[in-house]
Structure 1
Amino acid sequence: MSNDLSEPAVAVVTGGGRGIGAAIARRLAATGHRVLITDRDETRARDTANRLGSRCEWAAHDVRDPGSHERIADAASALGSLRVWVNNAGVLIAGPAWSHGSDEIASTLEINVLGMMLGSRAATLAMADEGGRILNIASMAAHGPVPGLAVYAASKAAVLSFTTSLQGDLDRAGLPIRAHALCPDVVATDMVGSHASDAGAAILFAAARQLSAEQVAQAGVDLLSSSNPVRSLPRLNALAARATGLAPRLGLRLASAAQDAGERRQRRQVEEAR
């Protein structure tokens, strides 16, 4: 029984049809793993798997459905030794915390939090004997106050908290599984880009540069091969984000300044697009 990943095995990547998930699937396939790409959008999952090559399979998968995770675990195990499970599926809503509808809040928590918890449970049960790795995609937003992204930030803080607590449970049970949480800063994906003109998402556009999905995927695959439970990317930004969590009043002032900077950048982008 081992959680060593030096030998290629089978990996599941949820929300793998695009963005960070597709990039992680590509990296895992390149290292010899057989990857089961899942996505709520069946066409997207199929097209991505076909594009990435013969080492990738696909399945339709709504992470909000409790029973779906067990079905995905069975499908992955039928391909070989399931050793990696990446809970990447997620959604982003932006705007004042009180502006979201009940359905919008519930869907965010069901996908970002419940889906991750159910996936982690299915992965643990499937890998308990042989061992393996679980990678949960959190966010830099998990570390401190992020006005404009309150619901999203809360969901990602839950991902981070659950993952570290899960590792404690795994250690106590003596199960050969490592759980990891990756906390990237803003990533240049379609999900983020769809909020480019959304004033409520201004803080996402405060920085001059965003991470690429490939940078995040490489960090995630590196984390899977390490003993570290958490990695934040970039590390310097993480220090600042954690400081805002320790000193919320200061953090809120800094966040307000970041929102102002993001709004200016959004306005420039709109003007340049004309």
Structure 2
Amino acid sequence: MMTLNQNNKNGRVHGKVALVTGGAKGIGAASVRVLAAEGAQVLISDLDVETGQALAAEIGLAAAFFRHDVSSEDGWRQVIDHVRERYGRLDILVNNAGILIAGSIEETSLQAWQKVMRVNADSVFLGCREGIALMKDSGGSIINLSSVAALAGRDDYLAYSASKGAVAALSRSVAALCRRRKYRIRCNTLHPDGVLTDMTRGSLPTGVDPDRMTIDSDPMNRMCRPEDVAASVLFLASDEARAINGVELRIDSGQMVMSI
């Protein structure tokens, strides 16, 4: 069993073990960096081996990489077994992996619908189920990445919106069960509304400058950066949030409260 990260003994998650899915890029990578910087030992889960290994090498002893297909039941059993064997415990689970496929109800194929559901929703179901089995004796924090699209209608991203709605509903059920069974496991969801990642850059119209769409450029803009979401991941992962369970935290720059 590996010795836990001894860096930053005053860190907000010092001595904790974290698993971050989709951890090689975007929100996942930003979360990996901040959790490691604040004292956690972090396992990066992703299908992108080259980028994931490079991130682990960049961080050093506080991080490791594991190739992981989040849509696979066997894949989840393998990664949780790896966490158990390598670290002996799991304190923080960040279900971040996801994909984005455009299409309305009239345009979305069953194949596309099922693909998005497998990656975005099935993976969170499997992660919570397998993660709880390892976490329930010592407790911990599960943080599931949903979206504002789960709370408001998006006609152009039907499958994505539905998958993120499933994540939110599932997370409420997990939070309720863990409380009822006194597992000391908290489960919360984060609901960003446009984050400047490679995935969202690819969905923008040709000729649009993504950097001009962020809140750095104009506070009326909706798009933030991965680090803004990672800051909320760190908070929910830390003992500072020990009384927060079943919450849906919007990271939308106030978009949902605007009436006009």
TM-score of the pair, normalised by structure 1: 0.79
* Kept after mapping to 2: 8 A contact 1:8/1:31: no
The 5-angstrom pairing of residues 1-274 of structure 1 reads 7-80=14-87, 81-197=89-205, 208-225=221-238, 226=241, 227-228=243-244, 229-234=247-252, 236-240=254-258
Contiguous gaps of at least 5 residues in structure 1: 199-204, 244-253, 255-274
Matched AA of 1:164: R
* Kept after mapping to 2: 8 A contact 1:164/1:179: yes
Structure 1 residues 84-93 or 215-224, which shifts more? 215-224
Match for residue 202 of structure 1? none
Matched AA of 2:233: G
Structure showing greater Rg: 1
Matched AA of 1:97: I
* Kept after mapping to 2: 8 A contact 1:10/1:77: no
Higher helix share: 1
Q: Distance in 2 between matches of 1:67 and 1:107?
A: 17
Deviations along 1:55-88, whole A, 9 cap, x unmatched? 1100110011101112111211223231111100
Matched AA of 1:233: I
1:194 offset after TM fit, Å? 0.7
Matched AA of 1:85: L
Q: Distance in 1 between matches of 2:138 and 2:61?
A: 25
Match of 2:144, SS state, is strand
* Kept after mapping to 2: 8 A contact 1:11/1:76: no
1:13 offset after TM fit, Å? 0.3
* Kept after mapping to 1: 8 A contact 2:68/2:75: yes
Contiguous gaps of at least 5 residues in structure 2: 1-11, 207-212, 215-219
Matched AA of 2:160: Y
TM-score of the pair, normalised by structure 2: 0.83
Matched AA of 2:231: Q
Deviations along 1:165-184, whole A, 9 cap, x unmatched? 11111111111111110111
Matched-pair identity in %: 31
1:44 offset after TM fit, Å? 2.3
Match of 1:134, SS state, is strand
Matched AA of 1:239: V
Q: Distance in 2 between matches of 1:35 and 1:236?
A: 31
Q: Distance in 2 between matches of 1:51 and 1:86?
A: 20
1:101 offset after TM fit, Å? 2.7
Match of 1:93, SS state, is coil
1:138 offset after TM fit, Å? 0.4
Count of residue correspondences: 232
